[in-house]
Structure 1
Amino acid sequence: MKILFVHQNFPGQFLHLAPALAARGHEVLALTAEANQRPSPVPVMRYRTPPEVAVQGIARSYAEAAERGATVARACAQLSETRGFVPDVVFGHGGWGETMYLREVWPEARHLTYAEFYYRSRGLDTDFDPEFRRTGLGSRLGVASRKAHLLMALEDADAALAPTAWQASTLPDHVRAKTTVIHDGIDTDRVRPDPAARLELPGGRVLKPGDEVVSFVSRNLEPYRGIHVFLRALPAVLEARPEAEVVIVGGEGQSYGPAPGPGQSWKRRFLDELGPRIDPARVHFLGQVPYRQFLALMQVTRVHAYLSYPFVLSWSMLEAMSAGALVVGSRTPPVVEVIRDGGNGLLVEFFDVAGWSRALISALADPARDAGLRAAARQTIIEGYDLKSVCLPRLIAFVEGRAQG
């Protein structure tokens, strides 16, 4: 078959699937944004940056998605005209509007969509946190308007793929019937415990397994991933465990939710709030790091904190479990789908700052007690999320099976 992947940040969720399909003899091509310079495992073409839209207000998100969708559709039409490439399967991520009009270009193809999340103004992420809750009518209208381009992608797709059962549950009822749940997969051969792992801090200190390390990871440090709760829990941890070192990975940009204000970052805002109670000699902000450095952190940490609003589940939590880390997670729907409290990790209510302090202190104090949880965490990932034995075969079967209708 001829298979086209469409993703503005390709390879994204298709990192392993695209080359696996190529290895099975399919002709695989990817289309991505011209600004995306990530290495690609398959041949890739790029579409031009969509023009700026003049629309303001609640319709802006739809206008931007529609403009991107039209740009991608024109690029795909040109792909057919100049190269004669007519795909049997088009598999895209519906999140940015890229797939909105592709059935108009290739009506006979089978169209698949990666359905990561479906927005609602109530009951999910936007009204979860009372400190940053957006409940006014204007905010609700803005959130509701973000569903328009997602719904177009879902309606036009022959089948949808969601990475977790909870994320699939956010989709409209009539879409779930054509949605399959398969995670992207964790490479448990690579992401595994390593007693020889070492992590060098900026000051030159080297951390190793057995050291008293607390870790926190997020693409960007923001409330959606609980950075405010985590930082507020740290003063008690630092006081109770004088040998503890805290390593925080993440940028100061904005991935999800509202911005902290002009010229600010969420990190700086919460550090200013906590002042000298956060010891910069023991709390290390590494920014965004290469994957090998992230992996080393997961292999040396004694306890890894993961918090999330009711939103998309991060790969990093599953990778921490695969590396044999003890994960203390927030008792929120995307997390409890994977972590069983006292079974393969620990759970704390998202907003319980004192509870987070207690859980982290306890985990640091007695690592031997939690050895069973660490082993069970890795086993959970091997049995349910392993790339080679579980997820990739199912992903291949999904694409090849849906291609046949």
Structure 2
Amino acid sequence: MKILFIHQNFPGQFLHLAPALAARGHHVMALTDEKNQRASPVRVLRYKTPGALDLPPMLGRTYGEMAERGWVAARGCRALRDRHGYAPDLIFGHSGWGETLFLREIWPEAKLLVYAELMYRTRGHDVGFDPEISPGSDEARVGTVARSAHLIQGLVQADAGLSPTQYQAKSFPPELRGKLTVIHDGIDTQKVRPDPQAELALPDGRKLRAGDEVLTYVSRSLEPYRGFHRFMRALPEVLRTRPNAQVVLVGADGASYGGLPKDTPSWREKLLAELDGRLDLARIHFLGRVPYSHYLALLQVSRVHCYLTYPFVLSWSLTEAMAAGCYVVGSDTEPVRELIRDGENGRLVPFFDQPALEAALIRGLAGDPEAPRLRAAARDTIRQGYDLHGHCLPRLIDWVESFAP
């Protein structure tokens, strides 16, 4: 088949799938935003980044931005069609940025697949989940409905959609779920694995090694959606009780999903100010964003890995932490419960129960006698259901190839 991937930050979720399909003899290309300079495993073309728009406030803004990106992507595809005679058999794009919205009009005969990552919902998910940060007001719920329009349109127009977890698939309306197949992106468990010889060099030159008393936290951005505020508020008691513990955090300032605080430039600065005088800052290490090899070493030296999240998209970092054999203390929220069963392959605590979080972290750092069993079970969970080469990638290839003309 001629297969065209579309993703503004390609390869994104298609990192393994695109080259695997090319290796099977398919003609694979990708279309991405001109500003995206990530290395690509297949030939990549770029569309012009949408310019600034004079858009209406609030309700129409998201759809306007996504429709504009969709039109820019469609014009790029039209040029491929008209100037080069290109006609794909199959298009596979991420529906989150609107890039697939108008491709039916360019290639009406092509099969159209979308990566359906999450549908915004007004109740039972992230909106209003954490009243301290974002109260579930009528305005917030109305805005969420408005922001969902392009996601619904994208899936309605598609022949089928793919979601990485059951939780994320269930976020879509029942009327559309029949179009969805659930297959995780996959974790390379040969690369992401325990390493008793692992070590991580900190910026001050100190080295942490597997077996040291290390508490780790990872998020693309340090923000409430990933429980950063709950984690930071646990540290005074954790550090007081465990005087030899070192805390290492990976993640950038800023916000990937929620907003920034109104009174400080970042959530990191806000929490440090809130906890001023209560933290041993010599034992807390903010690394920002790090190369993948450093991130992997961090997971391998971790004695306790903390993963907290609102009911929202599940992070790759949780599946990779489990594959690395981490002792995970996670939030008892629906996306996490899909992977972790309390006392079987990790520890779960209620998202808002601060004493329970502190106790679970301290228990793990002190050397929970159940830790070896929980670590092994966590890795087994990923190997048995989320392994890239043994499970996920073959299923993804079969799913895509099932739409061959």
Q: Which residue number in structure 2 is paired with residue 239 of structure 1?
A: 240
Are 1:227 and 2:218 an aligned pair?
no
Query: RMSD value over aligned CA atoms?
Result: 1.0
Give the CA deviation at 1:368.
4.3
Counterpart position of 1:393 = 394
Is 2:157 the partner of 1:156?
A: yes
Give the aligned residue type for 1:54.
Answer: D
Matched residues, percent identical?
59
Code of the residue aligned with 1:81 in structure 2: it is D
Q: Residues 91-139 of structure 1, C-alpha deviation per residue, up to 9 Å, x if partnerless?
A: 0000011110011101000000000000012221011002113322322
Residues 162-201 of structure 1, C-alpha deviations (whole Å, 9 max, x = no match): 0000100001112111100000000000000011111001
Asked if the contact 2:129/2:136 (under 8 Å) is kept, the reply is no
Alpha-carbon distance in 2 for matches of 1:216, 1:325: 12
SS of the equivalent of 1:275 reads coil
Unaligned runs of 5+ in 2: none
State whether structure 2 residue 42 is matched by structure 1 residue 42: yes
Taking the TM superposition and a 5 Å limit, the aligned residue runs for 1:229-378 are 229-261=230-262, 264-378=265-379
Q: 2: CA distance between counterparts of 1:30 and 1:296?
A: 32
For 2:221 and 2:347, the matched residues in 1 are separated by: 23
Inter-partner Cα distance in structure 2 for 1:267 and 1:150: 32
Q: After superposition, give the CA deviation of every residue in 1:351-393 in whole Å (9 maximum; x if it has no partner).
A: 1111111001010111443100000000000000000010000
Partner in structure 2 of residue 59 of structure 1:
60
Residue type at the aligned position of 2:53? V
Match of 2:10 in 1: 10
Aligned residue for 1:312, secondary structure, equals coil
Count of aligned positions: 404
Q: CA deviation at 1:261?
A: 2.2
Report what 2:126 is aligned to: 125
Letter in structure 2 aligned against 1:12? G
Query: Post-superposition, which runs of at least 4 consecutive aligned residues in structure 1 deviate over 6 A?
Result: none
- Distance in structure 2 (CA, Å) of the matches to 1:263 and 1:109: 49
Measured against aligned partners, the alpha-carbon deviations of 1:33-73 in whole angstroms (never above 9, x if no partner) come to 00100000000000001121211221010000000000000
SS in structure 2 at match of 1:126: coil
Following the alignment from structure 1 to structure 2, what is the Cα–Cα distance between the partners of residues 354 and 137?
32
Amino acid at match of 1:319: E
Q: 233-242 or 276-285, which moves further after superposition?
A: 276-285
Residue 180 (structure 1) aligns with? 181
One-letter code of the match for 2:342?
Answer: D
One-letter amino acid of the counterpart of residue 185, structure 2: D
Matched residue SS, 1:80: helix
Range 255-264 or range 60-69, more displaced = 255-264
CA contact (8 A) 1:302 1:367 kept: no
Q: Which amino acid aligns with 1:201?
A: L
How many angstroms apart in 1 are the aligned matches of 2:39 and 2:249? 26
2:140 counterpart residue number: 139
Counterpart secondary structure, 1:49: coil
Q: Aligned with 2:114: secondary structure?
A: strand
> 2: CA distance between counterparts of 1:79 and 1:297?
44
SS in 2 for 1:281: helix
Moved more, 373-382 or 255-264: 255-264
For each residue in 1:129-150, what CA deviation from the matched residue of structure 2 results, as whole angstroms up to 9, or x when unmatched? 0211332232222111111111
Whether contact under 8 Å (1:126, 1:257) holds in the other structure is no
Could you tell me whether the CA contact under 8 Å between 1:225 and 1:306 is conserved in 2? yes
Whichever residue aligns with residue 73 of structure 2, its letter is: V
Q: Which residue of 2 aligns with 1:97?
A: 98
Which residue number in structure 1 is paired with residue 202 of structure 2?
201
Question: Relative to structure 2, which stretch is displaced further, 31-40 or 365-374?
Answer: 365-374
In 1: Cα distance, 2:264 partner to 2:374 partner: 42
Structure 1: runs of 5+ lacking an equivalent? none
Of 194-203 and 209-218, deviating more is 194-203
Deviation readout 1:190-227 (Å, 9 max, x if unpaired): 00001111100111110011100000000000000000
SS state at 2:339 partner: coil
For residue 145 of structure 1, give the secondary structure of its aligned residue in structure 2. Answer: helix
